[in-house]
Amino acid sequence: MRLILIGPPGSGKGTQAKLLSQRRGLRHLSTGDILRESILRDTAEGKLAAPYVSTGRLVPDDIVNETVNSRFRAPDRPTCFIMDGYPRTVPQAQSFDAVLHAAGLNLDGVIFLKVPDDEIVSRLGGRWNCPNPKCGATYHTHFKPPKRIGICDTCGTRLMQRDDDRPETIKKRLQIFHGFYDDLVEHYRKGGLLIEVPGMGDIEAIYGKIEKALGALKTK
Ligand code: AMP
């Protein structure tokens, strides 16, 4: 199956994409994860992307398109996949359409996780991560607090907040999302691929709604 998952930052895209990947055997491609890793490794791509990612702005289309295109040109290119956080703009969607067409691959659906803005601000503002690369545990002040405030339960490292999860950056990310997503959603609605799923409630309940919608699709 070939899917795209779109939704505002903090809508649970990453969590649902991981579940779909594990349970349906799909390759999980998250442009956010790829870019963060490139920044950590200080690669040429990372150097270009860093000023955008740290301030919550979209990385320019040509950079992120090349990040994705290079993976679809590689000999081990994904054939069954879940895209997480890409495409985010119509030019990215058009570039991805062309890449898939050239590879002879069709999309099965585009899942749109809908979550209200005030819920997003509360979810993202409470996220804390363990910066130890061997651990990487994640916490949330409301939903999954660490046993000791600010300290990782697993390895004892001081927890950190992603630069782009700070309140002023969250507001900017939401504005950016709303500026682009209407057109993106329309692009896939016109293509008959859009599947809207409410992203509120617990993780398994949302996953169940996604599976139900996918069950109604004809798979290729
Ligand atoms: P995410 O983990 O998907 O929330 O992405 C984190 C950050 O990476 C975003 O705020 C952008 O700066 C950058 N990013 C990820 N995917 C894209 C994309 N498709 N287009 C532009 N920027 C992106």
Condensed to tens digits (0 to 9), the pLDDT of residues 102-149 reads: 989 999 999 999 999 888 888 888 889 999 989 989 999 888 899 999
Q: How far apart are CA 61 and CA 29, in angstroms?
A: 17
Per the rule left: phi > 0, alpha: psi between -120 and 50, beta: everything else, 133 is alpha
Amino acid 94: pLDDT: 97
In this structure, the residue with its CA closest to atom 10 of ligand 1 is: 56
**Crossing angle between the packed helical segments 90-103 and 167-190, to the nearest 10 degrees:** 50
Q: How many CA atoms lie within 13 A of 153 on its CB side?
A: 9
C-alpha 118: how far from chain center = 19
Q: What are phi and psi of 92, to 5 degrees?
A: -65, -40
Q: Is residue 77 among the annotated active site residues?
A: no
For residues 35 and 64, is the Cβ–Cβ distance under 8 A? yes
pLDDT of residue 209: 96
Q: Is 173 one of the catalytic residues? A: yes
Residue 191, amino acid: G
SS3 (DSSP) at 149: coil
Hey, whose CA ends up nearest to atom 1 of ligand 1? 32
Q: How far apart are the first and last CA of the chain?
A: 7
Q: How would residue 218 be classed by pLDDT, with cut points 50, 70 and 90? A: low
H/E run at residue 218: none
Q: What is the pLDDT of residues 176-211, one digit of tens each?
A: 888 888 899 999 999 999 999 999 988 899 999 999
Judge whether residue 164 has pLDDT over 80. Answer: no
Catalytic hit among 2, 47, 114, 162: 162
Q: What average pLDDT does the segment 171-176 reach?
A: 84
Active site includes 2? no
Hey, which of 4, 13, 53 would you mutate to test ligand 1's pocket, going by the most ligand atoms within 8 Å of its Cβ? 53
Q: How far apart are CA 90 and CA 105, in angstroms?
A: 19
**Is-catalytic flag, 162?**
yes
190 is catalytic: no
Q: Give the pLDDT of residue 65.
A: 96
Instruction: Cite the DSSP H helix spans in the chain.
Output: 13-24, 31-40, 44-54, 61-73, 90-103, 117-125, 167-190, 203-215
Ligand 1 atom closest to the Cα of residue 85 is 3
Give the closest residue (by CA) to ligand 1 atom 8: 32
Catalytic residue among 36, 47, 123, 127: 127
Q: What angle do CA 104, 107, 108 make, to 5 degrees?
A: 130
220, pLDDT greater than 70: no
pLDDT, tens only, 73-104: 888 999 999 999 999 999 999 999 999 999 89
Between the CA of 189 and the centroid of ligand 1 the distance, in Å, is 22
- Coil, helix or strand for 86? coil
Ligand 1 contacts (CB < 6 A) are 9, 31-32, 35, 52-53, 56-59, 64, 85-86, 88, 92, 164, 173
Gap between the Cα atoms of 171 and 56, Å rounded: 9
Which residue from 121, 157, 160 is spatially nearest to 142, judged by alpha carbons? 121
Q: Among residues 13, 18, 166, 209, which one is catalytic?
A: 13
